[in-house]
Amino acid sequence: MLLGVGPDGPVAGRRVAVTGIGAVTCCGVGVEALWEGLVHPSISGERRVRGFDAADYFGPKEARRVDPFAAFTVAAADQALADAGSLGADPDRAGVIFATGVGGFETLAEQVTVYNDRGARRVSPFLVPMMMANAGAAHVSMRNGWRGPSETVVTACAAGTHAVANAARLVATGRCDVVVGGGAEASFHPVAVAAFANMTALSTSGESRPFDVRRDGFVMTEGAAALVLEDWNRAVARGARIYAEIAGSGSTADAHHITAPAPDGAGAVLCMEQALADARMVPADIAHINAHGTSTPLNDLAEARAITKVFGEPGPAVTSTKGVTGHGLGAAGAIEAVASVMAIERRLIPPTYGCEQLDPEIHLDVVRGEARPWEPGPVLSNSFGFGGHNGCLVILPPTA
């Protein structure tokens, strides 16, 4: 048993049901577009969101006063809430926990240019509410009149997973009956792209190839995903469709390097073990892993070694959806949580697009080529970020 984890787990509380999902990704707007892109992949090059209009959610005037990351947040949350049906939530017991890596970076960068070119008086008075990282969660809270916790997680590429985990914790402990958890990112400004390129994090080929021997970096993307998390008994009582259950989570730090993962994967190992202990499970219980799998040489190898340490060879079926979606930074973990939930519901594990020649140093059962039918079981969803942040979720098929 892990330090700090008792016989009933760190939170001996209520079961947490997933009753609504939403997504805005490079595959399109909505979860059906995401799923179609994952199981029938044919994408390449820049992973931008197409066919999205913020005015559809805010109106033409207000849409100009919202950074794209916050607009994506609202769109994904609105979808998830509509999917969940009539919640009838007590406003004081409903909350929002959303994630982002860099918040309103696009707006900030644009206004710096305005300042330099046109002077201080031309800087937008809406800059601060547009750039602040908590804007997305704030908008969702205000739109729904929810007065429970409204918080933002900023832990780089692990943020989306941490947000869903923290949201689940609020439900499990009884603080809230309903929480929307998720993540959003929109950082395609040329400065951000140049920064990632100059630190050699981006793929020079423009292709995302998780776990492939030819992988050479990640491909940036933008978008958002959201999950409605609800007290299980409450969801059953109102006749809600329950997609899945959030059964456990882990959070650790590598304490190693600001960008590089610990080579031995020690932090990732501990995080996966924590999540399993929280869910009262052992490695053999896990049937599928949605890997972090960014397509960078160091990260994929470190994660593969960590998975092997915990699960052995070849271990559960592994996929990285980033071959299709690209890397959504603070949104990634939330997008992958939605993908994991859909893999359970659709009884298919999406293939790892771009992985054609498995790295011989990686000894995992990587799903490649086509989606793999499966009898849904417990899923582990991994996210590991700059700063050494690690997050893991255990997601279960719905059972009585």
Residues serving a catalytic function are 157, 292, 327
CA dist., res. 60 & res. 63, Å (int): 5
What lies within 8 Å, CB to CB, of 312 at 6+ separation is 283
CA–CA gap between residue 277 and residue 93 (Å, rounded): 28
**Residue 142, Cβ neighbours under 10 Å: how many?**
12
Q: Name the residue among 357, 325, 351, 309 with its Cα closest to residue 34.
A: 325
Q: Which two tokens stand for residue 300?
A: 């994929």
**What's the rounded Cα separation, in Å, for the pair 240 and 16?**
13
One-letter amino acid of 329:
L
Q: Taken in order 254, 260, 263, 269, is the CA torsion positive or negative?
A: positive
SS3 366: strand
Where helices occur in 85-218 by DSSP H, the ranges are 105-118, 127-131, 135-144, 159-172, 190-198
Nearest to 88 by CA among 232, 233, 235: 235
d(CA 166, CA 132) in angstroms, rounded, equals 20
Long-range contacts of residues 266-270, Cβ cutoff 8 Å, at least 24 apart: 266/306, 267/384, 267/388, 267/390, 268/302, 268/303, 268/306, 268/307, 268/382, 268/384, 268/390, 269/306, 269/309, 269/310, 270/2, 270/390
Q: Which two tokens stand for residue 3?
A: 């330090």
Kindly report the length of the chain: 400
Q: What are phi and psi of 60, to 5 degrees?
A: -60, -40
Which helix (H) or strand (E) segment holds residue 392: the answer is strand 389-396
